[in-house]
Chain A
Amino acid sequence: MRGPSAARTGEGGNVRRFMCGLLLWRALFGFAGGACAQTDGDAVFAPVRPDTVLEFPRDLGAHPEFRTEWWYVTGWVTDEAGVDRGFQVTFFRVRTAIGERSRSRFAPRQLVLAHAAIADPAVGRLRHAERAERALPPLVGADEGRTRTWVRDWSLDWDGERYRTRIAAEGFSFELDFVPDGPPLLNGHGGFSQKASDPKHASHYYSRPQLVVRGDLRLDGERHAVRGRAWLDHEWSSELMPERARGWDWIGINLHEGGSLMAFRMRDADGHPMWSALTLVEGGRTRRGEGPDAVRFVPLRTWRSPRTGADYPVEWELELPASTAGDRVRRLRLVPLMDDQELDSSRSAGAIYWEGAVRVLAAGDASAGNEIPGPAREIGRGYLEMTGYANRPRM
C-alpha cells in the first residue's frame, strides 16, 4: 500500500509538482466515502467484493472500472562494486469519473501516473521522479488482460515470464527485468484485503515476492549492472481508507531463506492501530492474518526530518503473533538503509511520507549464549512505507 508523491524532481519544478498534487491524492482513493466519491453520477465505481476470485493472467492487467489501481515494485539491488541501493517504481491508474460521456479521445476518464525513486546511501536521500498523464494510447495507458502500463517512455510490462520496467528521469534511469519464482501470492482472503473493520474498505491485492532482478541502473550518466531481489504489489480498489484513518505503516520483505513477509497497519488520529494484516511465507508455509491485532508495530528509534520537522519511526520492532498455541511471539527488527528516505510533496499534494529500503534483523533476544555480540543477523531485505506522520495522506 503506497501513495505516490510529487516530491522533488529535477525535471519540472513547481508546476509539475502542482500538477501531480492536484491529481494524485484525491484521485487515488476518494477515501471520504460518500462525500465525494460518486458525485459525477455517470461513473459507478466497481465495488471490491470478497467473493471475487482472482484469475491470472487476466488479473495481472488493469481493472479500469475500479477507482484506483497500482503496480508497485520495490527492491534492493547490488552493483558490480557491491554497493547496495534501494529502488522503487510505481504505476498508478486512476479513474476520475470525469468525461465518462465525452466523445473526445482526450477525455480524462483514466489517468496513469508513475513514480520512481532510488535510495542511494552515497546521496543520503532519495532521488525521485514522477509522471502523470491521461490515458491516451498509444502514448499512455494501462492495458487489461496482462500487466502493461506506460506513461510515454516509462513502462512496466509482463511478457508471460518476466516483468520489465524502463524509467528514464533526469539524473537517473533504469531498465530492469524481474523474474518471479512462483505464482502470485494472494493477500487477505483470496486476494480480498480488508483495510478496516468495515469490509467496504478493502482492495483486491496480490504480491509477487522474491523477484529476481537483473538490469542496468544509470546514476548521473554512470552505468551500473545490477542484480538483486524485488517485490511487486498489485492492488485495486474503489474505496480504501476509512475516514478515521490517519496513516499506515507497510512492509514488503524478501526473506533470505526464500520466504516473504507483507504486513501493514492502519492508524487513527491518535496513532493507535485500527486494523492490520500480514502474509508470511516461510519454509513453504503461508500464514495470513487480518484484524486489529494481526501484527504489532513497535517503534524503536525516530528520525526527525530536517526539511519538514516530521518524526518518523525509522526503526521498528515487529511482533508477529504466535502461529500456534504454545509458540512464542516472534520479534523482528527493521533497520533502514539510510534514515532520510522521506518524500516531501507538501507544496503540491500536501503529503509527506517515508518510503525506503530496510533490512530485517532477527531481533535479538540476543541471548547470553550468543558468541558474537553486536548486530543481530539479517534475515531479509525489503521496503517500508510510513504515511501520516507529517500530515494525513489524502488517500
Chain B
Amino acid sequence: MSSVLRRIFVASLLKRRLASTLSLLSIALGVALGLAVQIIHGAALDEFGQGIRRMSGVADLQVVGAREGFDEGLYAVLALRPEVAEASPVLEIEARIPGATTPLRILGIDLFRVAYVQAQLLPVPDRAPTVMTDRMAALRDDAVFLSDEAEAFLLPDGAVHGEEGSRRLTVQSGLQVHELNVAGQVPGARERLGVMDIAAAQDVFGRTGLLTRIDLRLVAGLDVAQAIAALSPLLPAGVVLRPVEEAATEAAGLSRAYRVNLTMLAAIALLTGGFLVFSAQWLAVVRRRREFGVLRALGLERGQLVHGLLAEGAVIGCAGGVVGVALAHGLAALAFRLAGADLGAGFFQGMAPTLRFDLPLSAGYLCLGIAAGVGGTWLPAREAARVAPVRALHVAGVAGGAFRAGRARAAAAFSALALAGLACLLPPVGGIPLGGYAAVVAILAAAILALPALTVLVTKLLAGGRHPLWRLARARFVASPQQVVVAGAGVVASVALASAMAIMVNSFRLSVDDWLTQVLPADLYLRASSSAASGYLDDAALGRIRALPGVAGVDTVRAVNLRLDAASPPITLLARPVAQGWGLPLVAGGMRPPPANAELPPAWISEAVADGHRLAPGERLTLPIGGAMRSFAVAGVWRDYARQHGAVVIERATYVAMTGDARINDVAIRLAPGHDAGEVATALRALFGAERVDIARPGEIRAITLQIFDRTFLITYLMEAVAVAIGLFGIATTFAAQAATRKGEFGMLRHFGLTRRDIGRLLALEGVLACLMGVLTGLLGGAALSVVLIEVINRQSFHWSMDFAVPWGALVLFAVSLVLLAGWVARLAGAHAMRQSAVLAVKEDW
C-alpha cells in the first residue's frame, strides 16, 4: 500500500479513536482469554507430562494396573523376557501423612533397578558416606528419601526431632502410623515425592506381593509395537502395557474436555470482538461514503479501496492481537499465582508450572486476532466497493445494501437452526463434542440473522405510544432495522452465550445439589483417607464404630479403580451394600438385579460407563477384578458427578468374595434418634485419634462440593462478563458513530424545538430498543444454546445428565440491567453530538 493510501485508510482509525480503541480492546480480550487458557493448560500439561517422562527415565514401556496394584510375580516374568533389556518394579503409594492436608506420593523402588531405568529416582543418603552405617541407608526398612519439594512441604522449618538430630516422617497405613527416618534426598526429582525401598514400602503399607507399575526398557532395535504384541498376552486382567509417551499424555485426556470448553468460550469472546469490528467498520464505511466516492472519482481502483479497508481491519486486529498476547501472559501469570494451574478445576493439584512464552501459539492467536479484524471488515469493505462512485457522492447516509434481503435472511436463520439441530445428533469425535460446538455456532448465526426480522416484528407490536420521542425512535427502527443488527449483533452473541451458561450452570448446580442429597443419606461419614491414599479401615474398626453409643447402623464403601484398556483412564469400582437401603441416584434400571442375566451378580454403572461402553440395564458387563475377568449384569445406570471417567457399584459381599480384600475406605454412619452428630464425631475421634481419621457431616461435604463447583465455574463467569462488556462496547461504538453521522438530523430536531435533553432521551430510547432487540434475540438463542450445552456438549464431554432449570430471576435482572445500561451507554456515546449548537450541526458534518 502506498503511503498515500496508508494515510487515507489506516490514519482514519486514529480519527475514530473511541471506536478503534473499543474494537481493539475487544479483540485483545478475546485473544487474551483464549491464549491464557491455552498457556495455563499447556504449562500444566507440560509439567505433568514432563514429570511422568522424568520419572520414567529411559523406559520405553510401562506396565500399569489398578491403583491397588497387581501381583509382583509379573515382574520376574517380564524381566526374563528376551524383549526386555531392563525392568524396574515400582510400588506407588499415596501415603497419608497425619496432620497434612494432602498425601505424599511415595515410590517404593528397587534401587538396583532404578539405576538402570529411572536414575532420577535414585536416593542419596544425607550424611557423608564415610559413616559406614549409611552406606546401605537406602535399603533400610524405615528409611525414606524426600525430594526438595516434599521436604519443603512436610518439614518446612527443617524440623529436627528424635535423638541425634534425625528427621522423622510419620506416615499412616490403614489406621496405624509408622515412623520413618528421613535418610536423604532424591536430587533427580522435581515433584513432591518420597522414595523408599520397595520391600520397605510393601511392609509399611501392607502391600506385600503387589506392584503398581513396571517400567521396561526394550532391547535395542526392537519395535515398541512388536514388543507390546509379544508381552501383552503375559499380563493378567486389568493390567495394561503402554508406551511412556501415552502415559504422559493421559493427563491431557483427563482435562481435555474442560480445556476445550474454556477455549470455545474464549473463541466466542473473540467472535463477539469480530462483530464489534464489523459494526464499527460498517458505520465508518457508511460515514465515509463521500470520501470514498471522491477517491474513486480520482482514480482509486475498487480493489485498492477494498484492500485499504481490509488493511484497517488488519491493523486493528493486529494491534488488538499484540495487546491480547501480552495480556494473556499477564493473566496466565496471575492465574498461576492465584488459582493454580488448573483454573480451579482440580486436575493438577500441587504443581507449580512455570510461565513460558510459546511463540507458535502466541503467533497463532495473533493471527486469530488479525483474522477477526479482517473478517469483521470484509462485508463493509465489499459494500463500500460495490457502490458506484457517483452515487456515493450524491447520497450520504446510513443505508445498507447487504441487509436488504430480509426474507432471505429469515430463511437463512431457519436453515441455520435446522443445521444446529442436525449437528446435535452427531456423536462426539475423540471425546470432543464437535457437533455440539457446530450447533453453538449455527445457533449464534441464526440468532444474528433473525435479529432484523424480530426487530420488525417487535416494532409492529409496539405500534401504540404517542409520545413524539417514542414515535421518532420507532420510526427509525421501522426504517432501518439493519442499524439494530449493527448495534445489536454483539449483544445477541454475548447475551446468548451468557444466558446459556447461566441456564446450564444453574441446572448443573441444582442437579448436583439434588444428587448430593441422594448420595449422602447418612448422618456422619468417616474415612481414614481419600480412597487413593494409604489410610483405610477394616472390619475390626467397623466393629468398634458399631459399638459406640448413638450409632444405629453403618454402611461401608471400598473404592478401588480398574483399567479396562490401555487407552483410557481407570474407572472407579465402588463396593458397598446396595440392596439394603443405601440407594443410588438412578436414571435407568432399578435396584433389583435384572431378570435378563439373573445368574450374574448385579452392577450399577454410572452414566460415563454407560456412554463409554454403550451399556444398558440387563446387559452383561465384564470387569478385571482381582486379576481375573468377572461378569456382572447391569442392573441400573446412575448419575455420578464425582467421577468423570466412570464408576461401577457392586455389592461389597461380591467384591470381598472375589478379592478377599476386606478394606474399607468410607463408613457412612446412621445415628439413633436423639443422638447428636457432634458428640458421636467426638467419640469417633477419641476412638481412632483425631489425626488419623476424617469425619464429616453431609452438610459439610455438600458445602465443600458446591464450593468446588462454584470455583470451577468461576472462569466461565469471568468470560461471560467479558462477553457482555464486549456487547455493550458494540452498542457504544454504534451510537457514537451514529451520533456523528446524525448531527444533521439532531440539528433539525433541535430546530423543531427538541431540547438537548430530549435528544439525549431519544438516543437512550434508541439504545434501549436496540439492546432490547439484541437481548430478546440473545435470550432466545441462549435458551437454544443451553439445551445444546446440557444435552449435547456436557453429555458428550463429561457424560453428565442434568435436570433443566432456568434461573428466571437472574436472567430477568440481567436482561433489564443490560438494557438500561445500553440506554445509558447510547446516551453517553451520543453526548458528543449534542454538545454542538443546532446551526453548526446542520451545517457541518463531522
Contacts and interface: CB of A to CB of B under 8 A. Distances in A.
Asked whether A and B interact, the reply is yes
Interface of A: 12, 15-16, 18-19, 21-23, 25-27, 30, 32, 35-36, 39, 96, 98-99, 102-108, 132-134, 136, 138-139, 152, 350, 394
Contacts of B140: 98
Given A23-B136, A36-B133, A134-B112, A18 B76 contact: no
B132 A107 contact: no
B209 A105 contact: yes
B200 A99 contact: yes
Contacts of B125: 22
Interface in B177-225: 197-200, 202-203, 208-209
Nearest to A109: B199
Interface stretch (B114-122, B267-275, B604-612, B809-817): B114-122
Nearest to B110: A106
Contacts of A96: 136, 139
Which of A18, A22, A105 has the most CB atoms of chain B within a 10 A radius of its CB?
A22
User: When A and B form their complex, which 5 residue pairs have the shortest distance between CB atoms, in order from nearest?
Assistant: A104-B199, A26-B135, A106-B199, A104-B202, A107-B199
A138 B75 CA distance: 11
A35 to B, nearest CB: 7
B138 interface: yes
Given A16-B116, A19-B112, A26-B135, A106 B141 contact: no
Contacts of B116: 12, 16
Contact of A136 (B76, B124, B203, B208): B76
A30 B132 contact: yes
Nearest to A94: B136
Contacts of B327: none
A66 B375 CA distance: 83
A98 B139 contact: yes
B111 interface: yes
B132 A35 contact: yes
8 contacts: A22-B138, A26-B133, A30-B132, A103-B202, A103-B203, A104-B198, A104-B199, A104-B200
Nearest to B211: A106
B115 A15 contact: yes
A36 B132 CA distance: 7
Interface of B: 72, 76, 79-80, 89, 110-113, 115-116, 119, 122, 124-125, 129, 132-133, 135-136, 138-141, 197-200, 202-203, 208-209
Nearest to B123: A22
Nearest to B207: A104
A166 to B, nearest CB: 15
Contact of A98 (B72, B113, B129, B141): B141
B124 to A, nearest CB: 8
Contacts of B129: 21-22, 350
A12 B58 CA distance: 12
Given A22-B129, A99-B203, A138-B76, 6 more contacts: A19-B115, A22-B135, A104-B202, A105-B209, A106-B89, A134-B110
Given A22-B138, A394-B132, A102 B199 contact: yes
A30 B133 CA distance: 9
Contacts of A32: 132
A27 B76 contact: no
Given A15-B119, A105-B72, A138-B76, A99 B135 contact: no
Contacts of A19: 111-112, 115, 122
A230 B840 CA distance: 117
B139 A102 contact: no
Contacts of A102: 141, 199-200, 202-203
Contacts of B113: 133
Nearest to A137: B76
B136 A98 contact: yes
Contact of A99 (B124, B199, B208): B199
B164 to A, nearest CB: 13
B504 to A, nearest CB: 51
Contacts of B115: 12, 15-16, 18-19
A200 to B, nearest CB: 18
A27 B141 contact: no
A148 to B, nearest CB: 16
Given A16-B116, A18-B122, A102-B141, A139 B199 contact: no
Contacts of B135: 22-23, 25-27
B403 to A, nearest CB: 73
A99 B202 CA distance: 11
Contacts of B76: 136, 138-139
Contacts of B198: 104, 106
Contacts of A152: 79
Contacts of A103: 202-203, 208
A127 to B, nearest CB: 20
A12 B203 CA distance: 30
B136 A27 contact: yes
Contacts of B112: 19, 132-134
A103 B72 CA distance: 13
A377 to B, nearest CB: 46
Contacts of A36: 132-133
Nearest to B125: A22
Nearest to B124: A18
A139 B79 CA distance: 8
A14 to B, nearest CB: 9
Nearest to B113: A133
A133 B111 CA distance: 9
Contacts of A98: 136, 139-141
A108 to B, nearest CB: 4
A321 B824 CA distance: 118
A35 B129 CA distance: 16
A108 B132 contact: no
B130 to A, nearest CB: 8
A352 to B, nearest CB: 15
Contacts of A16: 115-116
A15 B200 CA distance: 22
Contacts of A39: 133
A36 B140 CA distance: 14
A394 B122 CA distance: 23
A136 B203 CA distance: 17
A104 B125 CA distance: 23
A98 to B, nearest CB: 5
Nearest to A131: B112
Nearest to B109: A106
Contacts of B141: 98-99, 102
A350 B135 CA distance: 12
Most chain B beta-carbon neighbours within 10 Å: one of A39, A107, A132: A107
B140 to A, nearest CB: 6
A123 B79 CA distance: 34
A130 to B, nearest CB: 11
Contact of A108 (B133, B197, B209): B197
A105 B203 CA distance: 10
B80 A108 contact: no
A37 to B, nearest CB: 10
A338 to B, nearest CB: 31
A205 B140 CA distance: 30
A233 to B, nearest CB: 24
Contacts of A133: 112-113
B213 to A, nearest CB: 14
A104 B138 CA distance: 16
A371 B632 CA distance: 97
Nearest to B116: A12
A172 B820 CA distance: 86
A157 to B, nearest CB: 17
